Structure 1
């Protein structure tokens, strides 16, 4: 293993740093090791090791819709239901918990 002698100075939002370091601590990984792992993945992937893109869909702000636009959104939802593109609420909430709870 190469000797670690390079320094990296960054400015980051305090809340982001605190939350990330709390998770890393629970995993037993020092922040410097996590950053080193991130950099190695950038090298390995020849880019960022995750997609960087805008979401293809965005939540609909119902309060900003006209009656016609609201009806269109409701019709889309009904069409999804008719086509079998639906999930039980318990499955949706389990997915949300899995994705967003530590």
Structure 2
């Protein structure tokens, strides 16, 4: 298949660096990831994952966690589930 079309996109440097770190761990290049995404759009006939608007509780939780407020860490899933029972 001929690969001659070009896609240009602007993205925040911090987001780009973080995403490329994940892709590297997966053994993928940014170009391969974009190609995969576009192919999935074609196969699904739309975005290949649900796009949802977060409710107010989720928005507040995401904001707090991005500011390292009310964040809990666990060493295992079992430890996390055990904390819910208390």
Consecutive unaligned residues of structure 1, counting only runs of 5 or more, are 62-87, 94-102
Alpha-carbon distance between aligned partners in 1 of 2:56 and 2:82, rounded to the nearest angstrom: 17
Structure 1 residue 4 displacement after superposition: 1.0
> Structure 2 vs 1, CA of residues 30 and 92 (structure 1 numbering), >3 Å: closer, same or farther?
farther
Post-superposition Cα deviations, 1:1-31, rounded to whole Å, max 9, x if no partner, equal: x121111110001111100001101111011
Aligned residues: 66
| Higher relative contact order (Cα pairs below 8 Å, separated by 6+ residues) | 1
Unaligned runs of 5+ in 2: 61-77
Partner of residue 24, structure 1: 23
Find out whether 1:91 has 2:81 as its counterpart. yes
C-alpha spacing 1:59/1:38, structure 2 compared with 1 (3 Å): closer
Which runs of 4 or more aligned residues in structure 1 lie more than 3 Å from their structure 2 counterparts after TM superposition?
Answer: none
Task: Find the aligned partners of 1:60 and 1:10 in 2 and give their Cα distance.
Answer: 27
Larger Rg: 1
TM-score, normalization by structure 2: 0.65
> 2:19 & 2:52 partners in 1: Cα distance?
21
Structure 1 Cα separation of the partners of residues 9 and 58 of structure 2: 33
Alignment of 1:31-42 (within 5 A): 31-42=30-41
**Could you say which residue in structure 2 is the equivalent of 1:46?**
45
